[in-house]
Structure 1
């Protein structure tokens, strides 16, 4: 938290267990909100023990209000951090007796607007048409209406194309629904994410044309790094490349490094793109293990998990899928390569 927003150490405060009981959540959930979103205690007591002051608890109450209105955990955290004043004027206060003493806790920040719904948050960003489809997709998934999910996915891809539909509709809804149930501290809602992920996979496969004569002689090998669990983005990348006539060899299911090295050697690809969403799964040395011998493939690291500073000199970082498609096409075929 910024220094100007830290609680005064002289203010009464509560430990994490007491705050968790007050809010009706597990202590582990509070620690997750602290680690992921910065909604944690502002000062230390006794060297190690971190305690929540009145303003910290006020932010958590704002977050809970937003969650109760149906927003995702990430959206609710962003709302609480944006709306909680730096030096809040309190309309009322509540004194509660705890085993640690009396604590003055704000009941409401003065003149605070109501928290936004998921629909309002989606409408504030991106193309209005994409926002409408994202709301429809989220509603259908939450209702476990697989037919409506499939229709909405097909409409999004047909209307906006694979990459635009992925970045503006599919990925945001997948992320929001995953945050929603994972932040709740229980497994309720996991079935929604699984249903949507399966439907997205099927939709991306259907959107991938089968190329009888690819524009590239040697394929582009696309693979998740061995410890990456989420390879859906690679299907979007493969689909868009195929729509541009670029042939790929896709391994979205993580392969051990030795198996991946064999696949690269046998496919003799023109380019290798390794996808990593999580930084903990992105190991730069993987490129050295995979590219042994005299192979002359172009090497690309794609996804938010990679750190440019740690990559070998011959590996090029691709920031997002759109940049990956444009760059791979340019490297393989040049700026004026003919398209079918």
Structure 2
């Protein structure tokens, strides 16, 4: 298949494929008719593996390395036209479980991505409402929303220009609104003292905290949410005044995660369970009294259990 056809199959720009070929060696294996280069089945298979890795949130370089490790390059005969005529064989997989894709999630992820790329706000909002209504907040976040956000963000950042940034911003704002709508207002929370959820001061991506707060609220657990990063001294005041039962500090980037923040915000006689959440934290550097949480589902389960015990 020529580069333009492969780009359409995968939903990327032809220039992106050329960049992946030049930088990472994920290009066509053979030439047809002189200088015309064609992608064969293995070439496209490697690109699909790369796309799956990108949708899990890995960097472009890591995704390329993953694809080449899973499917090393080797000479292959030119593909037969009968094989190339099947569009389903080359359809991009937009779901978190790349090994066993969920058809429902894949369909909704395609719809969400297509609507965002078209800057169709209403279609984006309808799709988000549908996926959250069908799967629940955390399943929708992990299986559709976060992978699509990561893939669209990586797409424009990898282009070397700001073209496409508007797509990520539009989708992020729509996701924020959808997560807020999915968060019930609790008249009588099951916990007497709230769970304080906050980004660390240098963290700029707090969407995951909205998903965490929404799921906790769905389970009857009340929270105080500070997704906008606060200075350490302001966060310390919030902890002191709010007297939370637990403090969960979110960090997506390792450069923003400072373990000393826990001692700064919990000085004095304040008794709160302390949790670090997000891929930015390193378990080895955390103080002994701070517990590192896993993914968002594990985080919700653990916080609920620590505060309220088993639901059984």
TM-score normalised over the length of structure 1: 0.68
Cα deviations by residue, 1:99-140 (Å, 9 ceiling, x for unpaired)? xxxxxxxxxxxxxx999999xxxx755422111111110011
Cα offset, 1:21, TM superposition:
24
Cα offset, 1:251, TM superposition:
0.1
Report the CA distance shift for 1:117/1:167 in structure 2 as closer, same or farther (over 3 A): farther
Name the CA distance, whole Å, in 1 between partners of 2:220 and 2:48.
52
Cα deviations by residue, 1:56-104 (Å, 9 ceiling, x for unpaired)? 9999999899999999957972575247636767xxxxxxxxxxxxxxx
SS of corresponding position for 1:222: strand
Cα offset, 1:319, TM superposition:
1.3
Preserved contact between residue 301 and residue 318 of structure 1 (Cα < 8 Å)? yes
Report the CA distance shift for 1:262/1:163 in structure 2 as closer, same or farther (over 3 A): same
Report the CA distance shift for 1:178/1:47 in structure 2 as closer, same or farther (over 3 A): same
Name the CA distance, whole Å, in 1 between partners of 2:35 and 2:283.
34
Preserved contact between residue 72 and residue 180 of structure 1 (Cα < 8 Å)? no
SS of corresponding position for 2:72: coil
Preserved contact between residue 214 and residue 246 of structure 1 (Cα < 8 Å)? yes
Residue in 2 that maps onto 1:109: none
Cα deviations by residue, 1:262-304 (Å, 9 ceiling, x for unpaired)? 1000000000000001111101001011110011100000001
Cα offset, 1:49, TM superposition:
33
Higher-Rg structure is 1
Preserved contact between residue 57 and residue 147 of structure 2 (Cα < 8 Å)? no
Report the CA distance shift for 1:199/1:83 in structure 2 as closer, same or farther (over 3 A): same
Cα deviations by residue, 1:12-60 (Å, 9 ceiling, x for unpaired)? xx99999999999999999998999899999999999999999999999
Report the CA distance shift for 1:135/1:297 in structure 2 as closer, same or farther (over 3 A): same
Greater displacement, 307-316 / 41-50: 41-50
Report the CA distance shift for 1:276/1:32 in structure 2 as closer, same or farther (over 3 A): farther
SS of corresponding position for 1:144: coil
Q: CA RMSD in A?
A: 7.9
Cα deviations by residue, 1:213-236 (Å, 9 ceiling, x for unpaired)? 000000000000001110000000
Preserved contact between residue 225 and residue 274 of structure 1 (Cα < 8 Å)? yes
Report the CA distance shift for 1:37/1:243 in structure 2 as closer, same or farther (over 3 A): farther
Preserved contact between residue 55 and residue 150 of structure 2 (Cα < 8 Å)? no
Aligned residues: 297
Alignment match of 1:35 (pick from 22, 25, 29): 22
Name the CA distance, whole Å, in 2 between partners of 1:21 and 1:215.
50
Name the CA distance, whole Å, in 2 between partners of 1:219 and 1:228.
22
Preserved contact between residue 55 and residue 148 of structure 2 (Cα < 8 Å)? no
Q: Which runs of 5+ in 1 are unaligned?
A: 1-13, 90-112
Preserved contact between residue 144 and residue 195 of structure 1 (Cα < 8 Å)? yes
TM-score normalised over the length of structure 2: 0.74
Preserved contact between residue 199 and residue 250 of structure 2 (Cα < 8 Å)? yes
Q: Which runs of 5+ in 2 are unaligned?
A: 83-97
Name the CA distance, whole Å, in 2 between partners of 1:210 and 1:73.
40
Preserved contact between residue 29 and residue 75 of structure 2 (Cα < 8 Å)? no
